[in-house]
Amino acid sequence: MAVEAVGEQSLEETPTWAVATVCFVLIVLSLLIEHLLLLLAKYFNKKRRKSLIRALDKIKSDLMLLGFISLLLTICEKRIASICIPKSVGETFLPCGSPSYSDETEEEAKCAEKGKVSFLSRSGVQQLQYLIFVLAAFHSLSSILIFGLGMAKMKRWESWEAETKTLEYQFLRDPRRFQLTHQTSFGKRHLRFWTEPPVLRWPAFFLRQFYGSVPKVDYLTLRHGFILAHFEERSNFDFHKYIKRALDRDFKKVVGISYWIWIFTIFFIFFNAHKFYSYLWLPFIPLVMLLVIGTKLQAIITSMCLDSHDKSHVVRGTLLVQPSDHFFWFGRPKLLLHLMHFILFQNSFQLAFFTWTWYYFGFRSCFHRKTVDIVLRIVMGILVHFLCGYVTLPLCALVTQMGTSMRGAVFTEDVMEGLKRWEANAKKTLRSNYQSARPSLDASLDTSLSLESTLSFSASHSVEFDPPVEREDAIIEVADAENDPGIIVEEEGEKKGSFEGFVMIS
C-alpha cells in the first residue's frame, strides 16, 4: 500500500507505553480544562452572574459542535479522498496560482490512474481539522476579550450612577427650574451648527465615536429618559446594573454561532481564491461594518435630542428624551446586536485563518505573498477587536436600551426565577382546575339532556302561566320587600332549576 511505502507506523507496530502516554496526556489536559471551566462557573454563580453561566454553557456547546464536525471529518476522511473529479474542475478557484499534485496516498494514486484528482486529499482533510480547532479557540478567546474590554469601559459608569443619588444631582434636575433646550448640557453637545445639514452631520457622527463615545451627559440623559418612560420619576432604579445584566444576556447570543454565521463563513472561505484578490477587501469588511454601526449609534443619540427640541424649546429641570424604536434601522434595536455578532465572528475567523496558514504553510506562503497582506490582516484584526470591545460595544449596550419596550433584564435573576416559578404554578393550577371542572360540566350536560328527553310535549298538551293579577301581586310584594328591610325575600338561587309557575295539563 502507498501508506506503508512512506514509512508510517500503525498501532500494531507502536509500543503500548507510547500509546498509553499519549492518552494519559490528553486525558489530563481535558480534565484540567474542564476543571478550569467549572471554577469559572462557580465564580459567576458566586457573583450572581447567571447569564454569564449560560454564555459559558453556550461556548461549551459550540466547542462540542466543532469537535463533532472534526470527528466526522476523521471518520469520512478516506471516503472524501476517494471521490475523484476531473483535473479541469480541480484547477478552478485555487488559493494559489498553480496546483501541485502528489500521489502519496492510495486514494490520490487511484484518482491519478483515471486521469483525475482527489476531491479533497487526506492531508487537506487533516489541515481542515486544524482550521476548525483554531477557529474555535480564537472565537472563544476573542469573545471573552471583547466582553472584558466592554466591562472595563463601563466601570466608569458606576461612579456616574452613584452621582444620581446625591443632592446636587437632584437640585440640578429640579422640575421647578426652567431653561431652554440649547442651554442644557445635552443640548450644547448635540445642537450644533452641523446638526441640520446631512453633509456635515454624518462626518461629525463618524468622528465622534473615536473620542468621548459615551460621555457623562449622554449617559445621564438617556438614563433619565429610560426611567421616566418605564418607572416613576423619583424611582431609585439602578440603570448601570440593568445595562450590565442586559450585556450579560447579549453576551450569550454573541458567543454563539448561528446558522447564518456559518453560511457567511462558507462564503468567506470560497472568496479566498486567488482570482478574487480577497486580501485587498476581505479584511476591511468587519472594520467598515463596525464604523457604520458606531456612526449610526451616535446619530440615534442626536436624533433623540432633536426630537425633544422640536417638541418643546423650554425644559423643566433636565432635557427629556423619549425612547422609541423608530430611531433604529427597520424599527429593530436588536438588529445592531446581530450585526455586532457577525462582525465579531468574521474578525475572529480571519485571525484564525491567518494563524492557521502561518502554522501550516509558513509566514511566506501563497496565502500571504505580499507584506501588505500580512500587515493588513494583523492590524485590521487587532483594531477591530479593540474598537468593538472598548468603543462600540458599550455604546451599543447603552443606546439599544432606548427602544419602545424595556427588556427582561430590568428584573434581577432572582426576580426572574420567581416570576417563572409563578407562571409555571399558575399554568399548573389552571390546568388542574380545568380538568376538575370538566367532569361536573359533562354531568350537567347529561342531566339537561335527560330532562329534555323526559319532558317531551305533544300536541295535546298545553302550558298555562299564572294569571296576570297574581303576577302583579308578586311584583308588588317584591317591591314592598325591597322598601321594607324587615321583609325577607327568598333567594333567587333556591328556585333556580325548578318548574314552579308552570302547570302541566294533559
Residue 59, C-beta contacts closer than 8 angstroms, at least 6 positions apart: 140, 143, 255
Q: What is the pLDDT of residue 414?
A: 61
CB 94 within 8 A of CB 273: yes
pLDDT at residue number 296: 92
pLDDT of 440 reads 55
506 residues of the chain, pLDDT tens digit each: 334 444 567 777 788 888 889 888 989 988 898 888 888 888 877 777 776 777 777 777 777 888 888 888 888 888 888 888 888 887 788 877 666 655 567 777 788 788 788 888 888 888 888 888 888 888 878 888 888 888 888 888 888 888 888 888 777 776 677 777 777 888 888 888 777 777 888 888 888 888 777 888 888 888 888 888 887 777 778 888 888 888 877 777 777 777 777 888 888 888 888 778 777 788 888 899 999 999 999 999 988 888 888 887 777 777 888 888 888 888 888 888 888 888 888 888 888 888 888 888 877 777 777 777 788 888 888 899 888 888 888 888 888 888 887 776 666 666 666 767 777 778 878 877 777 765 554 555 455 444 444 434 343 344 444 444 444 443 334 334 444 444 433 433 443 344 344 334 43
pLDDT at 100: 62
SS3 273: coil
Q: Which residues, 6+ apart, have CB-to-CB distance to 13 below 8 Å? A: none
C-alpha cell at 292: 457604520
The pLDDT of residue 466: 46
| CB-CB contact of 118 with 111 (8 Å) | yes
| pLDDT confidence of residue 412 | 63
φ/ψ (deg, to 5) at 76: -95, 10
Question: For the purposes of burial, counting CB atoms within 10 Å of the CB of 222, is it exposed (0-12), middle (13-18) or buried (19 or more)?
Answer: buried
For residue 25, the tally of other CB atoms under 10 A from its CB is: 10
- Taking the alpha carbons of 79, 81, 84, 89 in that order, is the dihedral positive or negative? positive
Helix, coil or strand: residue 213: coil
18 sits in which H/E element: helix 16-46
Q: Which residues fall within 8 angstroms of residue 251, CB to CB, at 6 or more apart?
A: 51, 52, 55, 143, 147
Domain ranges for the chain: 2-125, 144-410
